[in-house]
C-alpha cells in the first residue's frame, strides 16, 4: 500500500502553525461532533492520523482525564509525532509513530472504544 505524505506533514512546525491559525472552524465542528457522543469510564480512544496532537490534547484528553481513560495518537510521520510529544504532551495521551495498515502496525494488538480520523484522508492515496 502506498502513501503520499503531504508537504505540510514533512514540516511539522509549519503544519502546526497553520492548524493553530485556522483552528476556529475546525474546533467548532469537532466540539459539535464530540459533544454528540457518549463517553464511558476508562475508554481508550484512538486518534488515527493525529498529526501534531491538537485533537488529542485539546478535545480528547480532557474527556479521558475526566473519565480515567486514555487517548492514543497514531501518525505515520515521525516529525508529526515529535511535534505532538513536544507541544501536546498530556498524562492521558500517548503518541505513537506507525502505519496502521502495515503488518508492523504498533497498535495491532490494541482495542479501542472510539476511533477519530480527522483531516487524514486528504493524505491517503489508496482508498481501496
What are the structural domains of the chain?
7-34+42-123 (3.40.50.150)
Residues 5 and 83: their CA atoms lie apart, in Å, by: 16
Residues 73 and 95: their CA atoms lie apart, in Å, by: 5
pLDDT digits (tens, 9 = 90+) for 12-59: 555 556 556 555 566 777 888 888 899 999 999 999 999 999 899 999
pLDDT digits (tens, 9 = 90+) for 56-114: 999 999 999 999 999 999 999 999 999 999 999 999 999 999 988 888 899 999 999 99
State residue 32's pLDDT score: 80
Predicted TM-score of the model (pTM)? 0.77
Residue 94: φ, ψ to 5°:
-120, 135
Residue labelled with grid coordinates 481508550: 44
Position with higher pLDDT, 32 vs 8: 32
Residues 15 and 17: their CA atoms lie apart, in Å, by: 5
- The length of the chain, given as a count of residues: 128
Amino acid at each position: 500500500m502506498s502513501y503520499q505524505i503531504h508537504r505540510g506533514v514533512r514540516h511539522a512546525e509549519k503544519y502546526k502553525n497553520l492548524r493553530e491559525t485556522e483552528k476556529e472552524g475546525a474546533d467548532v465542528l469537532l466540539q459539535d461532533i464530540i459533544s454528540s457522543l457518549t463517553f464511558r469510564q476508562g475508554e481508550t480512544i484512538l486518534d488515527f492520523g493525529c498529526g501534531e496532537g491538537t485533537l488529542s490534547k485539546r478535545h480528547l484528553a480532557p474527556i479521558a482525564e475526566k473519565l480515567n481513560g486514555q487517548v492514543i495518537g497514531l501518525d505515520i510521520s515521525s516529525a508529526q509525532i515529535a511535534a505532538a510529544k513536544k507541544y501536546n504532551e498530556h498524562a492521558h495521551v500517548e503518541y505513537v509513530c506507525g502505519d496502521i495498515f502495515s503488518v508492523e502496525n504498533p497498535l495491532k494488538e490494541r482495542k479501542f472504544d472510539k476511533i477519530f480520523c480527522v483531516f487524514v484522508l486528504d493524505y491517503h492515496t489508496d482508498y481501496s
